[in-house]
Amino acid sequence: MSVSGKLFYNWSDKDFDESLKFIDTEQLGDIPYDVTIIGAGVVGCALAYKLSMYKLRILLLDKNYDVGEATSKGNSAIVHTGFDAAVGTLESELITKASRHWPELAKKLKIPYEECGALLIAINDEQNSQLDKVYEKALNNGVTDVQQLSAEQALELEPQITKNVLRGILIPRESIADPFSTSIAYSEIALANGVDILFGVEVIGIENVDEKVKSLITNCGKKIDTRIIVNVAGLGSRKIADLYGGEPFDINPRRGQFLIFDKFSRSVINHILLPIPTEKTKGVLVIPTIFGNLIAGPSAEDFTNDDETVANTTIEQLQSLLNGASKLYPGLNEQPVIGTFSGVRCNCKQGSYWLRSNDGHRGIITVSGIRSTGFTSSPALAEFLISEMQEKLGLNLELNPAAVDSRSESSWPGWWKRPYSNNELVKESPEFGRVICYCEQISHGEIIQHLDSPLKPRTLDAIKRRTRAQMGRCQGFDCMVNVAEIISNQCNIPLKKITKRGPGSEIISTNTSQY
């Protein structure tokens, strides 16, 4: 994919690739940006993608060293239909709209996507009494293809679910997709269309806030001028809103933990299994992943905004998740767990989808509280934000006829295409036959290919999310060092400087005094 935007990393180490280093704002040009998006989560990346269809000067920046490094990497990866959203809300409107576009979007972005359907089951009298309400809500949300099922019909669809099932609802269009490729694909296309991307740059101040141009102050001391600011910084959005005097709101991070089960468990469950949702959460789900595993979760644990333990996993919660999920699928107890993870929802006390245009000052938009559905809604939310910018902030939109809206066929991820089994390809490029990650069967060739992909990923986690090397049964025990060596050799970075997720997360300790 050809690239016309600029890409820089605020990675000052002398061994880091000079051509990617962010040294001075002169590298970005001297004209203020039309729009700067703070936060390269799935929502910020979707916005960059959609805005890149117009003739605009756009910057996407993030304090992390890859896209989708925060909430967007730790979710259930369900493309929701919106059947259980609060009726009449913006969230419901955006999810139902987005879900109908997802099959086409996934094809354009080359994101593996599967319409596996979801099965919601009632397993006691109290839940049974609520089932009709869930059905009515789905219809009121415009999700009219849901079907009521008897216990026999539910068991026929999923023979391994609990025999205690009393009734069920089938939601045929609930789907699963690759959450990592989504942020990557959005931003690769944005970059191709001329959007500039800056990694490792944290916004810590805003100066000269006037009607026209605002200056963002960054942690590396550089000032970036822009006409419009879109604050889509997720859990960091409140801190940024305080910098420009936005309307006050409160974020109470809500952690969700998950268990990952080995691949053979996927063959016994085909649908997403859902309990009856509560006021607070959708409950503990059993979810097939697009990668071929099952996951169970998430929990819903509330934290204060500055709690450093928020992203941890805990044995008590994981056990409780296993107990909860086993009520839907009792056999889960016998399936091997290969890993655990957690994600943190941006839960806004004032309500989900907290959007404010001209917040505090003309030309600033605050987007927060995108709590549980932002992966699904991202394309529709981006379009909504663009219409807000046009109508309320006076953004002039002129289509760019040269813009592309899709990635090339070669962008389908290797774990999906299985290049190691393509004899012709291996004959031509033997490195695609050299398997590095045995659990996921990922080849040396795929890792090299990704290091040279448009966003120039340079960390172990960035390569993991693109290739799945280190994500299999051994969780990187076997291949992590090999992957680190490939990054080191290919990018001329000493092995001791290879990091998990950016400076400060080096995998080899150079402090030997303790031994």
Ligand X SMILES: Cc1cc2nc3c(=O)[nH]c(=O)nc-3n(C[C@H](O)[C@H](O)[C@H](O)COP(=O)(O)OP(=O)(O)OC[C@H]3O[C@@H](n4cnc5c(N)ncnc54)[C@H](O)[C@@H]3O)c2cc1C
Site string for ligand X, 273-312 (x = CB under 6 A): -------------------------x--------------
Binding segment for ligand X (CB under 6 A), chosen from 68-76, 128-136, 388-396, 407-415, is 68-76
Report the residue number, 292 or 330, with the smaller CB distance to ligand X. Answer: 292
Report the residue number, 372 or 467, with the smaller CB distance to ligand X. Answer: 372
Minimum distance, C-beta of residue 224 to ligand X, in the bound complex (Å): 11
Q: Could you confirm whether 101 is annotated as catalytic?
A: no
Report the residue number, 45 or 442, with the smaller CB distance to ligand X. Answer: 45
Minimum distance, C-beta of residue 198 to ligand X, in the bound complex (Å): 9
- CB neighbour list of residue 446: distance below 8 Å, 6 or more residues apart: 414, 419, 432, 467, 469
Count of positions on this chain that bind ligand X (CB under 6 A): 40
Report the residue number, 245 or 494, with the smaller CB distance to ligand X. Answer: 245
- Using CB under 6 A, pick the residue from 40, 134, 191, 436 that binds ligand X: 40
Binding segment for ligand X (CB under 6 A), chosen from 72-80, 273-281, 320-328, 487-495, is 72-80
Report the residue number, 240 or 403, with the smaller CB distance to ligand X. Answer: 240
DSSP string of 2-48? ---S-EEE----TTS-GGGB---GGGG-SSPEEEEEE--SHHHHHHH
Looking only at the bridges linking them, the beta strands covering 223-231 and 33-38 are parallel
In terms of Cβ atoms closer than 10 Å to its own Cβ (0-12, 13-18, 19+), residue 507 is middle
Minimum distance, C-beta of residue 237 to ligand X, in the bound complex (Å): 7
Binding segment for ligand X (CB under 6 A), chosen from 365-373, 385-393, 428-436, 476-484, is 365-373
Report the residue number, 49 or 420, with the smaller CB distance to ligand X. Answer: 49
Q: Which of residues 156-215 bind ligand X (CB under 6 A)?
A: 202-203
Minimum distance, C-beta of residue 40 to ligand X, in the bound complex (Å): 5
Cβ atoms 356, 368 nearer than 8 A: no
- Using CB under 6 A, pick the residue from 52, 60, 65, 69 that binds ligand X: 69
Minimum distance, C-beta of residue 83 to ligand X, in the bound complex (Å): 13
- Cα separation, 137 vs 363, in Å, equals 37
- Cα separation, 442 vs 444, in Å, equals 7
DSSP string of 195-235? -EEEES--EEEEE---SS-EEEEETTS-EEEEEEEEE--GG
Residue 92 interacting with ligand X (CB under 6 A): no
Report the residue number, 442 or 462, with the smaller CB distance to ligand X. Answer: 462
Residue 93 interacting with ligand X (CB under 6 A): no
Q: How far is CA 315 from the centre of its chain?
A: 25
Cβ atoms 3, 194 nearer than 8 A: no
Residue 232 interacting with ligand X (CB under 6 A): yes
Residue 236 interacting with ligand X (CB under 6 A): yes
Report the residue number, 80 or 173, with the smaller CB distance to ligand X. Answer: 80
Report the residue number, 81 or 265, with the smaller CB distance to ligand X. Answer: 81
- CB neighbour list of residue 34: distance below 8 Å, 6 or more residues apart: 56, 57, 58, 226, 227, 228, 395
Minimum distance, C-beta of residue 63 to ligand X, in the bound complex (Å): 4
Cβ atoms 318, 341 nearer than 8 A: no
Residue 72 interacting with ligand X (CB under 6 A): yes
Minimum distance, C-beta of residue 381 to ligand X, in the bound complex (Å): 9
- Cα separation, 187 vs 232, in Å, equals 15
Residue 461 interacting with ligand X (CB under 6 A): no
> Residue 297 has which token pair?
């979760």
Cβ of 403: how many Cβ atoms within 10 Å? 18
Residue 117 interacting with ligand X (CB under 6 A): no
- Cα separation, 93 vs 90, in Å, equals 5
- CB neighbour list of residue 454: distance below 8 Å, 6 or more residues apart: 1, 3, 7, 188, 191, 192
Residue 143 interacting with ligand X (CB under 6 A): no
Residue 76 interacting with ligand X (CB under 6 A): yes
Binding segment for ligand X (CB under 6 A), chosen from 342-350, 403-411, 443-451, 504-512, is 342-350
- Cα separation, 381 vs 353, in Å, equals 9
Minimum distance, C-beta of residue 498 to ligand X, in the bound complex (Å): 21
Number of H helices, E strands in the chain: 13, 23
- Cα separation, 49 vs 44, in Å, equals 9
User: String of b and e for 142-181 (b: at least 16 CB within 10 Å)?
Assistant: ebeebeebebeebbeebebbbeebbbbbbbbbbbbbbbbb
Please identify which of the residues 80, 271, 444, 450 carries the catalytic annotation. Answer: 80
- Cα separation, 163 vs 508, in Å, equals 50
- Using CB under 6 A, pick the residue from 38, 94, 276, 437 that binds ligand X: 38
- CB neighbour list of residue 211: distance below 8 Å, 6 or more residues apart: 361, 362, 363
Residue 348 interacting with ligand X (CB under 6 A): no
Residue 365, classed as helix, strand or coil, is strand
Residue 96 interacting with ligand X (CB under 6 A): no
Report the residue number, 3 or 355, with the smaller CB distance to ligand X. Answer: 355
> Applying CB under 6 A, which residues contact ligand X?
38-44, 61-64, 69-72, 74-78, 80, 202-203, 232-236, 240, 256, 298, 343-345, 370, 372-376
Residues with catalytic function = 80
